[in-house]
Homo-oligomer: A and B are copies of this chain.
Amino acid sequence: MSENSPAGAPDSAPAPRARATIADVAARAGVSRAAVSKVFNRTGSISVDTTERIRQAARDLNWTPSATATALRRSRSHTIGLVLDKPSDRVDIGLGTASFLAGIQSELAPLDYGLLLHAIDREPAHQLAAYRTFAETRRVDGMILTDSVENDPRFPLLAELGFPAVLVGTPFGDEQIVHVESPDPEAGVVDTAEHLLGLGHRRIAYFGGSPGRYQSEARRTAFVDALARRGIEPVSNELVDYNPKRAAAATVAQLRSESPPTALVYASDAMAIAGIQAATELGLSVPHDVSVIGYGGVDVGEWMTPSLTTVRRDSEQRGRAAAITVLRLLGERPEGDATLENPELVVRGSTSAVHD
């Protein structure tokens, strides 16, 4: 690492002159602090003349209202919190998270809201403490949650605190929490089943996410039910924690069994990609010998070879909807609408009719 620090030591550099305050601007414009505030908040009535004088003074002094002072006075931080899952000792951010963040940002930015990231592990005690502090310190005005779990302790807590929050997804039980979700969240998964059956597949293996997580369970149930309606049962139905390595291992085990599956369905694109590799290393060709389907619709799925058949869920749209919804909770009037489209099956190169 190389490093040089002009900004660090205030030795040679001129001591960063004290920031101008509203009082300085008022003085320079020859008005009261109140007048300045009124101009910048378009509240109260100030003559065109003084308004211009004040604006000029502010420009001269490079003044912008202090966010912290405003936050204190208005008890609004103008910031939304997002809690990311931190499974163990490292923060883990899935492939789809990037566009989710982008979506949130795109709605927050126009209203000049900030986005504060936090990473918290799944230890219930830590969770509660963290969320409580999050709400109590009032660093954020509202928050966006993801990944509802069974008996999620966060929902009652937030309700008790009366803290504005929106869940992306569906709460597990009948917990009361504002949430955004598409009309039929599992539509794409059902199509997955139909697609495979239509191609003649009968021996199908499913590799799921994590136990106790709503999305993981719902997705799996929807798939298994869809097969059941056609009298089929998956040859395996395993939870591999959204972990690509575990998915690959489980895939190898299945493909080596005496009556191996002809189709492999995964609860995430990353796992599906790893599954393709596992199959390939066993000398099988995708999709000729085995078909593979992922979930998520990440961009790389489109670029890789074979391109990945998957269920695309618009992460960016989900981010936007979540942001819009919290903002509304806070009394803001964001532009867009919070409508979510159903995830949809995207048939690409990793699936084909069963051969043999």
Contact = CB atoms under 8 A, between A and B. Distances in A.
Interface of A: 1-8, 10, 13-17, 19, 62-69, 71-72, 75, 77, 79, 84, 86, 90-95, 97-99, 101-103, 105-106, 109, 114-119, 132-133, 136-139, 158-159, 161-165, 176-183, 244, 248, 270, 273-274, 276-277, 280-281, 286, 299-300, 303-305, 307, 316, 321, 325, 328-329, 338-340
Contacts of A109: 118-119
A127 to B, nearest CB: 14
Given A1-B340, A79-B139, 13 more contacts: A1-B183, A1-B321, A19-B136, A68-B139, A84-B105, A90-B102, A91-B105, A114-B118, A277-B304, A277-B307, A280-B305, A286-B305, A300-B304
8 nearest A-B pairs in the assembled complex, by CB-CB distance: A16-B162, A91-B102, A93-B98, A67-B137, A274-B303, A64-B136, A68-B71, A6-B176
Nearest to A66: B138
A246 B139 CA distance: 42
A273 B300 contact: yes
A352 B1 CA distance: 33
Contacts of A138: 19, 66-68
A303 B270 contact: yes
A105 B117 contact: yes
B93 A3 contact: no
A5 B270 CA distance: 34
A116 B116 contact: yes
Contacts of A62: 132, 136
Nearest to A316: B90
A277 B299 contact: no
A316 B3 CA distance: 19
Q: Which of A5, A94, A165, A274 neighbours the largest number of chain B CB atoms within 10 Å of its CB?
A: A5
A201 to B, nearest CB: 21
B277 A3 contact: no
A15 B162 CA distance: 8
Given A69-B72, A98-B94, A181 B2 contact: yes
A168 to B, nearest CB: 11
A339 B90 CA distance: 19
Nearest to A78: B139
Contacts of A161: 16
Contacts of A98: 93-95, 97-98
A78 to B, nearest CB: 9
Contacts of A165: 7
A286 B306 CA distance: 12
Nearest to A163: B7
A75 B69 CA distance: 9
30 contacts: A2-B179, A2-B180, A3-B179, A6-B159, A6-B176, A6-B178, A8-B329, A10-B162, A14-B162, A17-B162, A63-B136, A64-B133, A67-B137, A68-B72, A68-B75, A91-B101, A91-B103, A91-B105, A91-B106, A93-B98, A93-B99, A95-B98, A95-B300, A98-B98, A106-B119, A117-B117, A244-B299, A248-B303, A276-B304, A305-B305
